[in-house]
Structure 1
Amino acid sequence: MSTSYRIAEAAALLGVSDDTVRRWIDGDRLSATRDGGPAQVDGAELARVATELHETPPPGTTRSSSARNRLAGIVTRVVRDTVMAQVEIQAGPFRLVSLMSREAADELGLEPGVRAVATVKATQVSVDVP
């Protein structure tokens, strides 16, 4: 059973615009079928492009880590108190919130507008299918 997605759905999953997906289809970066109706992108093909878009950063970009879930984004908010800091990062369509020591946030120079990579490592990850 092959899952396929409309252009708008593919765009939402990749965190890009509908027009970007259409350009990728026209430029043969992403293949789509048009069986008399709206264009459909094959799920496996969409997964391939998603993987290309979010490859692991090149060596030296971040410190070595066993975690493989890295989301590059921009810091949108930092709330500091005397001991802790709450840092919000927008990584594509995802909003991530990290709690860390104020000292760590200060050492990293985290402020709104700074590029950052959120690294996620968990002992359990739940997967839901809509």
Structure 2
Amino acid sequence: MTHFRIGEAASLLGVSDDTLRRWVADGILTLGHDASGRQVVDGSELAARAKAMATEASDVGDVRRSARNRFTGLVTHLEIDGLMAQVELQCGPHRVITLMSSEAAREMKLEVGSKAVAVVKATMVILETERDAAQ
């Protein structure tokens, strides 16, 4: 069984330790104990919460999209140069950088501090996991 300590579980969900503890107190998540007696959250329960949070965040009204990867964040850097613009978003713990036309950036009235949603549609995704210490 995969389990995560409170700090790591909170980080994976993009919330504070206090928020995770509040969810435990409210019955949204449950705590168990690992072999050392430390408080942990079951990985499958954490995954279900992450999925529920993503569903809540993706509710955008009457718009339908084929892309499921949506990252809401704040513009942290904007560089408009000639025909192209580079836009950097901070979406929770994720940094997303995109290139677009300068015209589009201006029409969207993007500026540092603006809220924006990066919608990603890709045909290939590479996953990485940490190696076990025994490997």
Q: Give yes or no for TM over 0.5.
A: yes
Bigger mean CA offset, 29-38 vs 44-53: 29-38
Alignment deviations for residues 38-65 of structure 1 (CA, whole Å, 9 cap, x no partner): 21101111011111222223224xx543
- Name the CA distance, whole Å, in 2 between partners of 1:80 and 1:49: 38
TM-score, normalization by structure 2: 0.87
Bigger mean CA offset, 101-110 vs 28-37: 28-37
* Counterpart for residue 12 of structure 2: 13
* Counterpart for residue 58 of structure 1: 60
Shift of 1:77: 1.1
* Counterpart for residue 100 of structure 2: 100
Give the aligned residue type for 1:86: Q
- Name the CA distance, whole Å, in 1 between partners of 2:60 and 2:28: 22
Q: How many residues align?
A: 127
* Counterpart for residue 122 of structure 1: 122
- Name the CA distance, whole Å, in 1 between partners of 2:80 and 2:72: 22
RMSD of aligned residue pairs (Cα, Å): 1.4
- Name the CA distance, whole Å, in 1 between partners of 2:76 and 2:51: 25
* Counterpart for residue 80 of structure 2: 80
- Name the CA distance, whole Å, in 2 between partners of 1:100 and 1:59: 25
Instruction: For residue 98 of structure 1, give the secondary structure of its aligned residue in structure 2.
Output: strand
- Name the CA distance, whole Å, in 1 between partners of 2:24 and 2:38: 13
Which blocks of at least 5 consecutive residues in structure 2 are unaligned?
Answer: 131-135
* Counterpart for residue 112 of structure 1: 112
Shift of 1:123: 1.0
Instruction: For residue 32 of structure 2, give the secondary structure of its aligned residue in structure 1.
Output: coil
Q: Which runs of at least 4 in structure 1 moved beyond 4 Å after TM superposition?
A: none
Which blocks of at least 5 consecutive residues in structure 1 are unaligned?
Answer: none
Shift of 1:28: 0.7
Shift of 1:98: 0.5
TM-score, normalization by structure 1: 0.91
